[in-house]
Amino acid sequence: MKRIAITMGEPGGVGPEVIVKALFCAEIRNYCTPVVVGNTGVMEDAVKLTGLPLKVKAISDLSESRPAVGIIEALDVKAPSSCKKNAPSKNAGKAVVSYIKKAVELALNSEVSAIVTAPISKESLKMAGCKWPGHTELLAELTNTKDFAMMFVSEKLKLILCTIHIPLKDVPKKITEKLVLKTIRLAKKGCGMLGINNPIIAVAGLNPHAGESGVMGKEELRFIIPAIDLAKEEGIDVSGPFPPDIVFHKAYKRDFDMVVCMYHDQGLIPFKMLAFDTGVNITVGLPVIRTSPDHGTAFDIAWKNRANPSSMIEAIKLAATLEIRNV
């Protein structure tokens, strides 16, 4: 049974709660042996919040692990323990980075087979003076990864992003032939991780109507189409660019296995409309497997026993089944 490290995420967010609820799910035990990387006290509070018949067992090393029904094993990480609930904080930013660093260390040392990360607050990272805008960039630096991308997976739609956490006004100047080609290659790699051989990949345009032959923007002509042509020469089954307002519908109808999107919200708006509670985020390109539920810290409902664990359950299950392949 694969051992999966689950980072606790933002102490004041829904992460601890959805982890507890997910680990109460009997189905998870059929997929993996989970260990939470975070703060034991916070996890105990989360168990009390849910009222579920579970106990938290603190361990200082994985050699102490003795999995048992009704027990959540938590690898206690030295980090600031005084964090605000329902709000970002400097201490929380420092703590979540410590959890992630420990999980990556375990994965790189092959002590765990995969990492599942509970949501963190970008504001907390900023308050703590961290330079990373989110999980993805931090994980890439910790694993010395240069080519990586965010991929989002659900039963109804799968997509990957060319650009991620940057302002919308900066997107057009970031779209280059090199970036689009790299993301198409990562799309194929991501499909391989999912067991999809010879995937059919679509590329969304940046502009309305995919630029309308240059009338509504020239990024498609200058960068996106040349990248698609190069990918085709490599034997990748890719086509486009398609107008963004139709490509997701075509993918939903299963005309395509994966959609390459130009920017964050272009992909995430249709994705969350279709799979808000079950979608999973995967970082493609890392030397380790990393998944995450496709939602944020949800400070507005955190610590009220209202959070839905479905996305966390799917993230854990998927982490246990993914394989990194050279394609």
In terms of Cα–Cα distance, which of 315, 312, 261, 263 is closest to 289?
315
Task: Evaluate if residue 83 carries a pLDDT over 90.
Answer: no
Task: Evaluate if residue 80 carries a pLDDT over 80.
Answer: no
User: How many C-beta atoms lie closer than 10 Å to residue 296's C-beta?
Assistant: 15
**Per residue in 209-226, pLDDT tens?**
998 899 989 999 999 999
Whether the Cβ atoms of residue 11 and residue 39 lie closer than 8 Å to each other: yes
Task: Provide the token pair at 185.
Answer: 């290659």
Q: What pLDDT is recorded for position 326?
A: 64
Across the chain, what does the average pLDDT equal? 94
Q: What pLDDT is recorded for position 157?
A: 97
Q: What pLDDT is recorded for position 84?
A: 82
Tell me the pLDDT band of 247, cut-offs 50, 70 and 90.
Answer: very high
Q: What pLDDT is recorded for position 79?
A: 79
Distances from the Cα of 108 to the Cαs of 7, 113, 190, in angstroms? 15, 9, 20
Q: Could you give the CA distance from residue 152 to residue 159 in angstroms, rounded to a whole number?
A: 5
Whether the Cβ atoms of residue 186 and residue 294 lie closer than 8 Å to each other: no
Q: What percentage of the chain exceeds 70 in pLDDT?
A: 99
Q: Helix or strand or coil: residue 144? A: coil
What is the pLDDT averaged over residues 72-93?
Answer: 88
How would you classify the pairing of strands 114-117 and 32-38?
unpaired
User: How many C-beta atoms lie closer than 10 Å to residue 318's C-beta?
Assistant: 20
Q: What percentage of the chain exceeds 90 in pLDDT?
A: 89
Q: Could you give the CA distance from residue 137 to residue 144 in angstroms, rounded to a whole number?
A: 10
Q: Could you give the CA distance from residue 267 to residue 280 in angstroms, rounded to a whole number?
A: 13
What is the pLDDT averaged over residues 18-41?
Answer: 94
What is the pLDDT averaged over residues 276-295?
Answer: 94
Q: What pLDDT is recorded for position 327?
A: 58
**Per residue in 116-132, pLDDT tens?**
999 999 999 999 999 99
Domains of the chain (ranges; CATH) run 1-145+286-327 (3.40.718.10), 149-283 (3.40.718.10)
Q: Could you give the CA distance from residue 117 to residue 185 in angstroms, rounded to a whole number?
A: 25
Whether the Cβ atoms of residue 82 and residue 50 lie closer than 8 Å to each other: no
What is the pLDDT averaged over residues 135-154?
Answer: 95
Q: What pLDDT is recorded for position 129?
A: 94
Tell me the pLDDT band of 35, cut-offs 50, 70 and 90.
Answer: very high
Q: Could you give the CA distance from residue 148 to residue 142 in angstroms, rounded to a whole number?
A: 13
Which alpha helices (DSSP H) does the chain contain, by range?
Answer: 15-23, 40-50, 90-108, 122-127, 135-142, 171-174, 177-193, 219, 225-233, 244-252, 264-275, 310-321
- pTM value surpassing 0.75: yes
